[in-house]
Structure 1
Amino acid sequence: MKLSMYVITIVMWVLAVSYGQAQETEVKGKIELLEAVKEKVVTEEKEALKVEVENINAMMENGAVTSAEAENRKQLAAEKRALNIENRLAIIDNKIALLERNGEELAEEDEDRVVLQIGTGDDDKSLIYIGNGNRKPKYDKRTTSDFVLAVGFNNVLVDGELGDDVYKLGGSRFAEIGWAWKTRVFKETNWLRVKYGFSFQFNGLKPKNNMVFVDDDGMTLLEEYPIDLEKSKFRMDNLVIPVHFEIGPSKKIEKDDYFRYSTHNQIKLGLGGFAGVNLGARQKLKYEVDGQDIKEKQKGNFNTNTFVYGLSAYLGWRDTAVYVKYDLSPIFENNSVEQRNISLGLRFDMD
């Protein structure tokens, strides 16, 4: 009993110290952000004064105002901008003083306000956020995340030829579902991004001419089924890690205390590939015997390759893209004729 109380005391002490350090770090971060805003305030006001002076000089050159009147206007503009700087910096200094004096208390008050917030992922709001209602946006958010969904048609390539004479072109389909992160490569521009994550891929094939897959001494071959089939469908399930280099224009959104690059309404081109493992394969057969519908499900690996890898690309706008992927790894091991999946469809990146 004493030992348990001793352990609990140590745990509580560690938690208390960690909490205090976290609060101190949060307050320090807010103060550093406000100090950065002070520099931006001075720069903004100086730039505004520069524009005003240029406009006054242009008016004087055009004869709209006299030289004396121009000098008077410049003086008034300079005084106004100087007062703006003084007032805006005073507001920020007061905020810093308040944080330095009551930082931990303010942080605790913030924690009492919990909200559910849904955003686009490209601005100051994450895709889904549950937490502090007074959360301050990160000044530069280089990484965002999104949900990925893709669907379309699937088939195979054999020696560079499409296998549409063996597999149904419209009936063979693929699907992909996963999560991806997108990170800006360069600090000052957003034309190049790296997109990476994880996905579950489901590649389906529907053989023609009443054919099914069978294991023939370590090789997976197509053979005609002795009963007329209503359906013959083969599917491979993979877990992969896709990586794409995404290029395209973006819009810079600048606020007082943060900035973001948005690619929401821009064209995007992604080039890359994927690698992962095969989780399994299954074959579904449907036929009729003596007036009774029979559904047969066969599970196994069907001599499929354990490791899968390939190339993929997408071209899109907003949340929708044309998506193509090609497996460099053959579907089956030890087969004399190598077949490789090829897929074409639509991809939805819900960022």
Structure 2
Amino acid sequence: MRTITRYIVLIVLSLSVQFINAQNIKNSERIRVLEEERELIVTQEREFLKDEVEYINKQLEDGKITQEESVQLKKEAAERRALNIENRTAIIDNKIELLKRNEEGYIDNDGDTSVTGISISDRGSIIGIKVKGKNKPRKYDRRTSSDLVLAVGFNNAIVDGEKLDDSPYKFGGSRFLELGIAWKTRVFKESNFLRFKYGFSFQMNGLKPTNNQYFVMNGNETSLEEFPSELTKSKLLVTNLVFPMHFEFGPSKKIEHDKYFRYTTHNQFKIGIGGYAGFNIGTRQKLKYSINGDKVKDRIKRDYNTSNLVYGLSGYIAFDDVAVYAKYDLSPLFKDQVIDQNNISIGVRFDMD
């Protein structure tokens, strides 16, 4: 397990280094990343050598090889790893010199980004993975960019004819989570004040009833009823796949270079107004309680008459990549009910490019 964990850590670090190195950043920052990658190479090869030696020792213990053979195999492994370090670090050193010698924004067109060595074969050798990427000339004007969207916060429902204070759901215990990808396109050619933001997200809305209640479905009617035993947990989780669309506006900075320019909204205020539409992809209820001292956990997957199609309004007020975020379902939580309930959420949103 420790060996697997080391490999996971190493591959994540390697992929992170390679991903950062491919971005449009200053030469000084790229050099710093390359220097970190150089140190990572040494660590990788030493870890791989350590595992090869362990494998050779295991073969010796099992009687599959002799003492002389094990010494020779260890020597060959050490020489191979030393040459790997020498060759791989030489490539890094050459890239560093290339960046030092050229202007900002220079792109190395060798087209090769690679991560080497993540697993051991049955013979103890390291299997490498190579991720090929193409370095293209930097676009003069890039009007569309993408963000990873993550939002968390409090969730509840507004019951028709009642105030939010009278909600049958816990305010602190009911929460939501949203995860998705959004693309942002500049609307006007010569101005970045207005952007159109669109994408897809998974929204997970949780509701925890008060007063020891749980959800019961009687035909087309879904209602809350008191549970016959003392509940330690009662939660309804509704998962939706939605396609949000927002108009985002606010100031930005224009960064100009000889061969390209970019607009950036880093360290700027921005406001997004829009909505979303999609469909329900899953509903389940979780119950925890005790019977005669035995703890019971029920996970019931049913539709509970939740709406198949969902749509609503959403908006955010942000500074840099952090926003206060709110969304409200115009579609009822449960379809064809005598009294409608509409989901509402408020929390914090992160748009990470």
TM-score by length of 2: 0.63
Name the amino acid aligned to 2:213: M
Name the amino acid aligned to 1:292: D
Partner in structure 1 of residue 274 of structure 2 = 272
Helix, strand or coil at the partner of 1:347:
strand
Helix, strand or coil at the partner of 1:275:
strand
- Distance in 2 separating the partners of 1:305 and 1:112: 49
Shift in CA distance, 315/281, structure 1 to aligned 2, threshold 3 Å: same
Q: Verify: 1:211 aligned to 2:213, yes or no.
A: yes
Partner in structure 1 of residue 147 of structure 2 = 146
Shift in CA distance, 266/342, structure 1 to aligned 2, threshold 3 Å: same
Partner in structure 2 of residue 157 of structure 1 = 158
Q: In terms of Rg, which structure is larger?
A: 1
Q: Verify: 1:136 aligned to 2:137, yes or no.
A: yes
Of 201, 204, 218, which aligns to 1:202? 204
1:68-107 matched pairs, under 5 angstroms: none
Partner in structure 2 of residue 310 of structure 1 = 312
Residues 269 and 315 in structure 1, CA contact (< 8 A), matched pair in contact too:
yes
Residues 168 and 205 in structure 1, CA contact (< 8 A), matched pair in contact too:
yes
Partner in structure 2 of residue 332 of structure 1 = 334
Partner in structure 1 of residue 105 of structure 2 = none
Of 186, 189, 192, which aligns to 1:187? 189
Residues 155 and 163 in structure 1, CA contact (< 8 A), matched pair in contact too:
no
1:323 shift after superposition: 0.1
1:111 shift after superposition: 4.5
1:136 shift after superposition: 1.9
Partner in structure 2 of residue 287 of structure 1 = 289
Name the amino acid aligned to 1:295: K
Partner in structure 2 of residue 114 of structure 1 = 113
Alpha-carbon deviations, 1:227-256, whole Å to 9, x = none?
111110011000000000000000000000
| Structure 2: tracts of 5 or more residues without a match | 1-107, 116-130
Name the amino acid aligned to 2:302: G
Residues 276 and 308 in structure 1, CA contact (< 8 A), matched pair in contact too:
yes
- Distance in 1 separating the partners of 2:286 and 2:196: 38
1:24-35 matched pairs, under 5 angstroms: none
Aligned length: 231
Shift in CA distance, 301/171, structure 1 to aligned 2, threshold 3 Å: same
Partner in structure 2 of residue 220 of structure 1 = 222
**RMSD of aligned residue pairs (Cα, Å):** 1.9
- Distance in 2 separating the partners of 1:213 and 1:130: 51
Partner in structure 2 of residue 319 of structure 1 = 321
Residues 155 and 164 in structure 1, CA contact (< 8 A), matched pair in contact too:
no
1:114 shift after superposition: 3.2
| Poorly superposed stretches of 4+, deviation over 2 Å | 109-116, 129-133
Helix, strand or coil at the partner of 1:169:
coil
- Distance in 2 separating the partners of 1:149 and 1:113: 31
Helix, strand or coil at the partner of 1:114:
coil
Helix, strand or coil at the partner of 2:344:
strand
Helix, strand or coil at the partner of 1:342:
strand
- Distance in 2 separating the partners of 1:146 and 1:346: 15
Partner in structure 2 of residue 301 of structure 1 = 303
Shift in CA distance, 228/253, structure 1 to aligned 2, threshold 3 Å: same
Of 259, 262, 280, which aligns to 2:261? 259
1:163 shift after superposition: 5.5
1:112 shift after superposition: 4.6
TM-score by length of 1: 0.63
- Distance in 2 separating the partners of 1:168 and 1:291: 26
Residues 238 and 277 in structure 1, CA contact (< 8 A), matched pair in contact too:
yes
Name the amino acid aligned to 1:270: G
Shift in CA distance, 130/157, structure 1 to aligned 2, threshold 3 Å: farther
- Distance in 1 separating the partners of 2:137 and 2:111: 15
| Structure 1: tracts of 5 or more residues without a match | 1-108, 117-128
Identity of matched residues, %: 59
Helix, strand or coil at the partner of 2:109:
helix
Alpha-carbon deviations, 1:231-286, whole Å to 9, x = none?
10011000000000000000000000100000011001000000000012100000
Q: Verify: 1:233 aligned to 2:235, yes or no.
A: yes
- Distance in 1 separating the partners of 2:168 and 2:114: 55
Shift in CA distance, 187/336, structure 1 to aligned 2, threshold 3 Å: same
Alpha-carbon deviations, 1:76-125, whole Å to 9, x = none?
xxxxxxxxxxxxxxxxxxxxxxxxxxxxxxxxx93554369xxxxxxxxx
Shift in CA distance, 163/235, structure 1 to aligned 2, threshold 3 Å: farther
- Distance in 2 separating the partners of 1:325 and 1:312: 4
- Distance in 1 separating the partners of 2:158 and 2:194: 32
- Distance in 2 separating the partners of 1:139 and 1:226: 67
